[in-house]
Amino acid sequence: MRARAAIACGYGRPGVTHVSAREAYVAVRLGVTASAALAVPSALLYGVSDFSTGLSARSMRVVSATTVSYTLAAVVMLISLAVTGGQWSPAAILWGAAAGAFAIIGLLAFYAAMAAGPMSIASPLIAVLEAVVPVAVALVLGDHLVWWAWLAIVAAIVAGVLLAADRSAASVQISQKAVLLAIVSGSALGLSVVALNAAPKVGRLIPGVCETLIGLVVLAAFTVTSRARTKARATPRPPESRIKGEPVRRQQGVLLAATGGLLLGGANALLIAALHTGSLAIVGVLVSLYPVPTIVLARLALNERLATLQITGATLALLAAAALALT
Protein backbone atom coordinates (compact mmCIF):
# COMPACT_ATOMS: atom_id res chain seq x y z
CA MET A 1 0.00 0.00 0.00
CA ARG A 2 2.78 2.46 0.88
CA ALA A 3 4.55 1.66 -2.36
CA ARG A 4 1.42 2.54 -4.35
CA ALA A 5 0.99 5.74 -2.35
CA ALA A 6 4.62 6.72 -2.94
CA ILE A 7 4.23 6.22 -6.68
CA ALA A 8 1.10 8.36 -6.61
CA CYS A 9 3.13 11.11 -4.93
CA GLY A 10 5.82 10.99 -7.58
CA TYR A 11 8.48 8.46 -6.56
CA GLY A 12 9.96 6.69 -9.54
CA ARG A 13 8.65 9.21 -12.07
CA PRO A 14 11.05 11.06 -14.37
CA GLY A 15 11.49 14.67 -13.40
CA VAL A 16 10.25 14.23 -9.82
CA THR A 17 13.16 14.51 -7.41
CA HIS A 18 11.65 14.95 -3.97
CA VAL A 19 8.48 14.25 -2.05
CA SER A 20 8.34 15.22 1.62
CA ALA A 21 7.67 12.67 4.33
CA ARG A 22 4.52 14.57 5.26
CA GLU A 23 3.17 14.39 1.71
CA ALA A 24 3.86 10.67 1.58
CA TYR A 25 2.16 10.19 4.96
CA VAL A 26 -0.90 12.16 3.83
CA ALA A 27 -1.13 10.09 0.65
CA VAL A 28 -0.97 6.85 2.63
CA ARG A 29 -3.59 8.01 5.10
CA LEU A 30 -5.92 9.23 2.37
CA GLY A 31 -5.60 5.84 0.67
CA VAL A 32 -6.53 3.98 3.86
CA THR A 33 -9.45 6.32 4.58
CA ALA A 34 -10.77 6.00 1.04
CA SER A 35 -10.51 2.20 1.08
CA ALA A 36 -12.31 2.06 4.44
CA ALA A 37 -15.05 4.36 3.14
CA LEU A 38 -15.62 1.89 0.30
CA ALA A 39 -15.07 -1.36 2.23
CA VAL A 40 -17.55 -0.64 5.04
CA PRO A 41 -20.55 -0.02 2.72
CA SER A 42 -19.45 -3.09 0.78
CA ALA A 43 -19.60 -5.15 3.97
CA LEU A 44 -23.09 -3.81 4.75
CA LEU A 45 -24.35 -4.72 1.28
CA TYR A 46 -22.77 -8.17 1.51
CA GLY A 47 -24.44 -8.75 4.87
CA VAL A 48 -27.94 -7.84 3.67
CA SER A 49 -27.39 -9.75 0.43
CA ASP A 50 -26.28 -12.87 2.34
CA PHE A 51 -29.35 -12.73 4.54
CA SER A 52 -31.70 -12.29 1.60
CA THR A 53 -30.17 -15.03 -0.57
CA GLY A 54 -29.57 -17.32 2.39
CA LEU A 55 -33.23 -17.01 3.31
CA SER A 56 -34.26 -17.77 -0.26
CA ALA A 57 -32.12 -20.94 -0.14
CA ARG A 58 -34.52 -22.30 2.48
CA SER A 59 -37.39 -22.30 0.01
CA MET A 60 -35.42 -23.02 -3.18
CA ARG A 61 -32.50 -25.24 -4.11
CA VAL A 62 -29.19 -23.67 -3.15
CA VAL A 63 -28.00 -23.72 -6.77
CA SER A 64 -31.24 -22.13 -7.99
CA ALA A 65 -31.11 -19.36 -5.41
CA THR A 66 -27.44 -18.68 -6.18
CA THR A 67 -28.15 -18.62 -9.93
CA VAL A 68 -30.85 -15.98 -9.55
CA SER A 69 -28.59 -13.95 -7.27
CA TYR A 70 -25.60 -14.19 -9.62
CA THR A 71 -27.67 -13.24 -12.65
CA LEU A 72 -28.78 -9.98 -11.08
CA ALA A 73 -25.27 -9.36 -9.74
CA ALA A 74 -23.91 -9.79 -13.28
CA VAL A 75 -26.37 -7.20 -14.59
CA VAL A 76 -25.23 -4.69 -11.96
CA MET A 77 -21.56 -5.38 -12.68
CA LEU A 78 -21.99 -5.02 -16.46
CA ILE A 79 -23.82 -1.70 -16.05
CA SER A 80 -21.12 -0.49 -13.66
CA LEU A 81 -18.40 -1.52 -16.12
CA ALA A 82 -20.15 0.35 -18.93
CA VAL A 83 -20.10 3.48 -16.77
CA THR A 84 -16.55 3.23 -15.40
CA GLY A 85 -14.72 1.52 -18.27
CA GLY A 86 -11.51 -0.44 -17.91
CA GLN A 87 -8.53 -1.85 -19.79
CA TRP A 88 -8.93 -5.44 -20.96
CA SER A 89 -5.88 -7.67 -20.62
CA PRO A 90 -5.09 -11.40 -20.25
CA ALA A 91 -4.07 -10.80 -16.62
CA ALA A 92 -7.35 -9.08 -15.77
CA ILE A 93 -9.33 -11.93 -17.32
CA LEU A 94 -7.26 -14.72 -15.75
CA TRP A 95 -7.30 -13.23 -12.25
CA GLY A 96 -11.01 -12.53 -12.61
CA ALA A 97 -11.59 -16.13 -13.67
CA ALA A 98 -9.59 -17.40 -10.69
CA ALA A 99 -11.60 -15.15 -8.39
CA GLY A 100 -14.80 -16.45 -9.99
CA ALA A 101 -13.86 -20.09 -9.41
CA PHE A 102 -13.06 -19.46 -5.75
CA ALA A 103 -16.10 -17.21 -5.25
CA ILE A 104 -18.66 -19.63 -6.67
CA ILE A 105 -17.32 -22.48 -4.53
CA GLY A 106 -17.38 -20.19 -1.52
CA LEU A 107 -20.88 -18.86 -2.17
CA LEU A 108 -22.45 -22.26 -2.84
CA ALA A 109 -20.95 -23.52 0.41
CA PHE A 110 -21.99 -20.26 2.11
CA TYR A 111 -25.66 -20.44 1.19
CA ALA A 112 -25.72 -24.16 1.99
CA ALA A 113 -24.30 -23.38 5.44
CA MET A 114 -26.86 -20.58 5.90
CA ALA A 115 -29.64 -23.00 5.03
CA ALA A 116 -28.25 -25.80 7.22
CA GLY A 117 -27.54 -23.80 10.35
CA PRO A 118 -28.48 -20.56 12.15
CA MET A 119 -27.41 -17.55 10.10
CA SER A 120 -26.21 -15.63 13.14
CA ILE A 121 -23.51 -18.28 13.73
CA ALA A 122 -22.68 -19.58 10.25
CA SER A 123 -22.07 -16.11 8.80
CA PRO A 124 -19.46 -14.88 11.34
CA LEU A 125 -17.68 -18.24 11.34
CA ILE A 126 -17.22 -17.95 7.58
CA ALA A 127 -16.15 -14.33 7.95
CA VAL A 128 -13.33 -15.24 10.34
CA LEU A 129 -11.76 -17.57 7.79
CA GLU A 130 -12.42 -15.12 4.96
CA ALA A 131 -10.52 -12.44 6.90
CA VAL A 132 -7.58 -14.67 7.81
CA VAL A 133 -6.68 -15.52 4.19
CA PRO A 134 -6.14 -11.94 2.90
CA VAL A 135 -4.31 -10.97 6.09
CA ALA A 136 -1.98 -13.97 5.75
CA VAL A 137 -1.28 -13.12 2.12
CA ALA A 138 -0.68 -9.46 3.01
CA LEU A 139 1.87 -10.52 5.62
CA VAL A 140 3.67 -12.74 3.13
CA LEU A 141 3.77 -9.89 0.58
CA GLY A 142 5.21 -7.53 3.19
CA ASP A 143 2.23 -5.23 3.72
CA HIS A 144 3.23 -2.47 6.17
CA LEU A 145 0.67 -0.98 8.54
CA VAL A 146 0.91 0.97 11.76
CA TRP A 147 0.75 -1.14 14.91
CA TRP A 148 -2.78 -0.11 15.90
CA ALA A 149 -4.09 -1.13 12.49
CA TRP A 150 -2.77 -4.65 13.05
CA LEU A 151 -4.27 -4.58 16.55
CA ALA A 152 -7.64 -3.68 15.03
CA ILE A 153 -7.27 -6.51 12.52
CA VAL A 154 -6.63 -8.98 15.33
CA ALA A 155 -9.61 -7.56 17.23
CA ALA A 156 -11.85 -8.07 14.19
CA ILE A 157 -10.75 -11.69 13.86
CA VAL A 158 -11.29 -12.27 17.58
CA ALA A 159 -14.75 -10.73 17.17
CA GLY A 160 -15.60 -13.33 14.57
CA VAL A 161 -14.39 -16.10 16.89
CA LEU A 162 -16.56 -14.78 19.72
CA LEU A 163 -19.57 -14.59 17.42
CA ALA A 164 -19.19 -18.27 16.56
CA ALA A 165 -17.79 -19.66 19.83
CA ASP A 166 -20.71 -19.68 22.26
CA ARG A 167 -22.30 -23.09 22.83
CA SER A 168 -24.43 -22.42 25.91
CA ALA A 169 -27.99 -23.64 26.14
CA ALA A 170 -29.21 -20.06 25.74
CA SER A 171 -27.53 -19.56 22.40
CA VAL A 172 -28.39 -20.87 18.97
CA GLN A 173 -26.45 -23.94 17.87
CA ILE A 174 -24.67 -24.90 14.65
CA SER A 175 -24.43 -28.38 13.14
CA GLN A 176 -21.24 -30.17 12.14
CA LYS A 177 -22.37 -30.02 8.50
CA ALA A 178 -22.72 -26.24 8.71
CA VAL A 179 -19.25 -25.96 10.28
CA LEU A 180 -17.64 -27.97 7.46
CA LEU A 181 -19.45 -25.89 4.86
CA ALA A 182 -18.31 -22.73 6.64
CA ILE A 183 -14.65 -23.81 6.51
CA VAL A 184 -14.86 -24.44 2.76
CA SER A 185 -16.75 -21.20 2.19
CA GLY A 186 -14.52 -18.91 4.24
CA SER A 187 -11.30 -20.24 2.72
CA ALA A 188 -12.59 -20.00 -0.86
CA LEU A 189 -14.07 -16.52 -0.44
CA GLY A 190 -10.83 -15.28 1.12
CA LEU A 191 -8.88 -16.56 -1.88
CA SER A 192 -11.32 -14.82 -4.24
CA VAL A 193 -10.53 -11.47 -2.57
CA VAL A 194 -6.80 -12.16 -2.94
CA ALA A 195 -7.27 -12.96 -6.65
CA LEU A 196 -9.22 -9.73 -7.25
CA ASN A 197 -6.50 -7.76 -5.48
CA ALA A 198 -3.84 -9.33 -7.72
CA ALA A 199 -5.61 -8.26 -10.92
CA PRO A 200 -4.27 -5.18 -12.75
CA LYS A 201 -5.78 -2.00 -11.33
CA VAL A 202 -6.26 -0.50 -14.80
CA GLY A 203 -8.80 -3.25 -15.45
CA ARG A 204 -11.10 -1.60 -12.89
CA LEU A 205 -14.28 -3.71 -12.75
CA ILE A 206 -13.29 -6.10 -15.54
CA PRO A 207 -11.95 -8.80 -13.15
CA GLY A 208 -15.17 -8.53 -11.15
CA VAL A 209 -17.27 -8.96 -14.27
CA CYS A 210 -15.20 -12.01 -15.27
CA GLU A 211 -15.64 -13.38 -11.74
CA THR A 212 -19.42 -13.11 -11.96
CA LEU A 213 -19.64 -14.55 -15.47
CA ILE A 214 -17.47 -17.54 -14.52
CA GLY A 215 -19.82 -18.14 -11.61
CA LEU A 216 -22.81 -18.10 -13.93
CA VAL A 217 -21.18 -20.65 -16.24
CA VAL A 218 -20.50 -22.98 -13.31
CA LEU A 219 -24.03 -22.52 -12.00
CA ALA A 220 -25.49 -23.26 -15.44
CA ALA A 221 -23.59 -26.54 -15.50
CA PHE A 222 -24.85 -27.38 -12.01
CA THR A 223 -28.42 -26.54 -13.03
CA VAL A 224 -28.34 -28.74 -16.13
CA THR A 225 -26.90 -31.64 -14.13
CA SER A 226 -29.40 -31.17 -11.32
CA ARG A 227 -32.39 -31.11 -13.67
CA ALA A 228 -31.18 -34.25 -15.43
CA ARG A 229 -30.89 -36.07 -12.13
CA THR A 230 -34.31 -34.84 -10.99
CA LYS A 231 -35.97 -36.10 -14.17
CA ALA A 232 -34.20 -39.45 -13.88
CA ARG A 233 -35.35 -39.94 -10.30
CA ALA A 234 -38.82 -38.46 -10.97
CA THR A 235 -38.92 -37.09 -7.44
CA PRO A 236 -41.45 -34.29 -7.05
CA ARG A 237 -40.26 -31.25 -5.12
CA PRO A 238 -42.39 -29.84 -2.31
CA PRO A 239 -44.11 -26.64 -3.45
CA GLU A 240 -43.05 -24.77 -0.34
CA SER A 241 -41.01 -25.04 2.82
CA ARG A 242 -41.43 -23.45 6.22
CA ILE A 243 -39.49 -20.84 8.16
CA LYS A 244 -40.64 -20.33 11.74
CA GLY A 245 -43.98 -21.96 10.87
CA GLU A 246 -44.81 -19.63 7.97
CA PRO A 247 -44.97 -20.92 4.37
CA VAL A 248 -42.46 -19.44 1.97
CA ARG A 249 -43.43 -19.87 -1.68
CA ARG A 250 -41.00 -20.25 -4.51
CA GLN A 251 -41.97 -16.84 -5.91
CA GLN A 252 -40.96 -15.23 -2.65
CA GLY A 253 -37.69 -17.15 -2.74
CA VAL A 254 -36.95 -15.85 -6.24
CA LEU A 255 -37.67 -12.29 -5.12
CA LEU A 256 -35.36 -12.67 -2.12
CA ALA A 257 -32.59 -14.13 -4.29
CA ALA A 258 -33.01 -11.34 -6.87
CA THR A 259 -32.76 -8.71 -4.15
CA GLY A 260 -29.66 -10.42 -2.81
CA GLY A 261 -28.15 -10.41 -6.31
CA LEU A 262 -28.65 -6.68 -6.82
CA LEU A 263 -26.96 -6.01 -3.48
CA LEU A 264 -24.21 -8.51 -4.27
CA GLY A 265 -23.37 -6.70 -7.51
CA GLY A 266 -23.10 -3.38 -5.71
CA ALA A 267 -20.98 -4.92 -2.96
CA ASN A 268 -18.60 -6.46 -5.51
CA ALA A 269 -18.12 -3.13 -7.27
CA LEU A 270 -17.35 -1.38 -3.98
CA LEU A 271 -14.96 -4.17 -2.94
CA ILE A 272 -12.90 -3.84 -6.12
CA ALA A 273 -12.77 -0.06 -5.76
CA ALA A 274 -11.60 -0.49 -2.15
CA LEU A 275 -8.87 -2.93 -3.18
CA HIS A 276 -7.65 -0.41 -5.75
CA THR A 277 -7.22 2.31 -3.13
CA GLY A 278 -5.90 0.56 -0.02
CA SER A 279 -4.32 -2.34 1.78
CA LEU A 280 -5.41 -5.93 1.11
CA ALA A 281 -5.28 -6.66 4.85
CA ILE A 282 -7.47 -3.72 5.87
CA VAL A 283 -9.99 -4.18 3.06
CA GLY A 284 -10.16 -7.94 3.64
CA VAL A 285 -10.90 -7.51 7.33
CA LEU A 286 -13.37 -4.64 6.94
CA VAL A 287 -15.35 -6.53 4.30
CA SER A 288 -15.34 -9.62 6.53
CA LEU A 289 -17.47 -7.68 9.03
CA TYR A 290 -20.53 -8.35 6.85
CA PRO A 291 -22.02 -10.74 9.49
CA VAL A 292 -23.07 -7.77 11.63
CA PRO A 293 -26.06 -6.78 9.42
CA THR A 294 -26.79 -10.48 8.81
CA ILE A 295 -26.97 -11.10 12.56
CA VAL A 296 -29.18 -8.06 13.14
CA LEU A 297 -31.58 -9.14 10.39
CA ALA A 298 -31.60 -12.75 11.65
CA ARG A 299 -32.47 -11.47 15.11
CA LEU A 300 -35.28 -9.23 13.85
CA ALA A 301 -36.76 -11.51 11.18
CA LEU A 302 -36.02 -15.02 12.48
CA ASN A 303 -35.80 -14.33 16.22
CA GLU A 304 -32.33 -15.88 16.48
CA ARG A 305 -31.18 -14.83 19.95
CA LEU A 306 -27.55 -14.05 20.72
CA ALA A 307 -25.66 -14.94 23.91
CA THR A 308 -23.37 -12.55 25.79
CA LEU A 309 -20.21 -13.67 24.00
CA GLN A 310 -21.86 -13.18 20.63
CA ILE A 311 -23.05 -9.67 21.51
CA THR A 312 -19.51 -8.90 22.71
CA GLY A 313 -18.13 -10.14 19.42
CA ALA A 314 -20.49 -7.96 17.38
CA THR A 315 -19.53 -4.90 19.44
CA LEU A 316 -15.81 -5.65 19.07
CA ALA A 317 -16.28 -6.01 15.32
CA LEU A 318 -17.82 -2.56 15.07
CA LEU A 319 -15.03 -1.01 17.16
CA ALA A 320 -12.39 -2.70 15.00
CA ALA A 321 -14.04 -1.36 11.85
CA ALA A 322 -14.07 2.15 13.29
CA ALA A 323 -10.38 1.90 14.27
CA LEU A 324 -9.38 0.72 10.80
CA ALA A 325 -11.43 3.44 9.17
CA LEU A 326 -9.56 6.07 11.22
CA THR A 327 -6.09 4.54 10.72
- Residue ranges covered by each domain of the chain: 2-325
Per-residue model confidence as pLDDT tens for the chain (327 residues): 333 333 233 333 344 444 454 444 444 444 456 777 888 899 899 889 988 888 887 777 778 888 888 899 999 999 999 988 888 999 999 999 999 999 889 888 887 887 776 666 677 677 777 777 887 787 787 767 677 777 777 777 777 667 655 555 445 556 677 778 888 888 898 899 889 888 898 988 899 899 889 988 888 887 787 676 666 665 555 544 444 444 446 788 889 999 999 999 999 899 888 888 877 877 877 887 787 787 788 778 777 666 777 777 767 766 776 665 555
Distances in Å between the alpha carbon of 154 and those of 20, 129, 150, 274, 281?
Answer: 32, 13, 6, 20, 11
For residue 24, count CB atoms less than 10 angstroms from its CB and return exposed for 0-12, middle for 13-18, buried for 19 or more.
middle
> Which of 233-267 are b and which e, b meaning 16 or more Cβ less than 10 Å from the residue's Cβ?
eeeeeeeeeeeeeeebebeebbebbbbbbbbbbbb
Q: Which pLDDT belongs to residue 241? A: 45
Q: Rounded CA gap, 113 and 121, in Å?
A: 10
Q: Which pLDDT belongs to residue 26? A: 44
Q: Which pLDDT belongs to residue 315? A: 75
Tell me if 118 sits within 8 A of 58, measured CB to CB.
no
Model confidence pTM above 0.85: no
Q: Which pLDDT belongs to residue 58? A: 76
Q: Which pLDDT belongs to residue 321? A: 61
Q: Residue 243's beta-bridge partner residues?
A: 246
Q: Strand, coil or helix: what is 240? A: strand
